[in-house]
Homo-oligomer: A and B are copies of this chain.
Amino acid sequence: MFDLKSYLEAVRQEVDERLRRFLVDLSPPTRISQAMAYSVMAGGKRLRPVLCVAAAETVGGSRSSVLPLACALELIHTYSLIHDDLPAMDDDEKRRGKPTCHVRFDEATAILAGDALLTLAFEILATTGGQRTPHEGLKWMTAIARVASAVGFRGMIEGQMQDMAFEGTLVSEPELERLHRLKTGRLIEAAVGVGALVGGASSRHQNALHVYAQNIGLAFQVADDLLNVTGDPQRLGKAVGTDRIRGKNTYPSLMGLDGARTLAAQLVDNALKALDTFDNKADSLRAIAHYVIERNR
């Protein structure tokens, strides 16, 4: 039986140690580096780094070689949270149980901290890629392009645009799915995809992992919507029921709680099926798939 709790904890610790080196152990600290570190080190599941590491290890790659990639993904994820929380966007005052970046610092600093985290992610990727062999370096170059594409104006950013545009209007399920595939799915797909790529996956294995990531990405969002209805605000570190108050389109609002739960389970099944081609090296990814929908119980 795979011990997911220990695995998550171990990867989280290694990722956090690296992130701390990038952000906290800077002398002298500046207001901007403090704002960046504040948001990055506020905790969080480190889901994207974990997926990246697990994908690399599944195909025989080493953890240490993909850690910079895993960290870059988390920096990008944090940048997107800081900007999404801004008054001009979702106007959230709490995140992970703490005041959001613009509340703790100020709006200008929060905008710049997000900008700086996105930029630092690419600096880390390019610096690491430049230290590898030319053959490996080419994979890192591909990884940079894929990550940038995933979070760009045809990816995550378009998802956030649609999310805001749809607020208060009723959308269909295909529209909601498209929104989430962009807003959260693309970065999760990239995390698995570039982890596999840099880890040395064959193209057959890359394809299988892509199917896994697509399903897990959407399952994660459905589960997140469910948590916003049924979750415990204390454990989540943020308010619940906010989606309904804002008139956000969610899977529970569209298909009811049971319908959304059935969909999440179906997506996790699809994700697991895509892993059939792997032996027990993929047990981490299998356990993460179960965890995605079970964390809300």
Contact = CB atoms under 8 A, between A and B. Distances in A.
Contacts of A83: 111-112, 115
A157 B88 contact: no
Contact of A120 (B106, B111, B115, B148): B148
Interface residues of A, number: 50
Nearest to A148: B123
Count the copies: 2
Given A130-B138, A138-B134, A148-B123, A153 B111 contact: no
Interface string A143-173: 0110011011100011011001100000000
A102 to B, nearest CB: 8
Interface in A109-129: 109, 111-116, 118-120, 122-123, 125-127, 129
Contacts of A142: 126, 130
Nearest to A83: B111
Contacts of A86: 108, 111
B145 A123 contact: yes
Given A116-B152, A137-B137, A152-B116, A108 B130 contact: no
Contacts of A93: none
A114 to B, nearest CB: 7
B120 A122 contact: no
A196 interface: no
A123 B143 CA distance: 10
Contacts of A32: 153, 157-158, 161
B129 A141 contact: yes
A62 interface: no
Closest 8 CB pairs of A and B: A123-B148, A88-B107, A134-B134, A126-B144, A126-B145, A116-B153, A119-B152, A130-B141
12 contacts: A31-B161, A83-B111, A88-B106, A108-B164, A119-B148, A119-B151, A120-B152, A122-B148, A123-B148, A127-B145, A130-B142, A137-B137
Given A109-B161, A118-B119, A126-B144, 12 more contacts: A79-B115, A83-B111, A88-B107, A119-B151, A120-B152, A126-B145, A127-B145, A130-B142, A130-B145, A134-B134, A134-B138, A137-B137
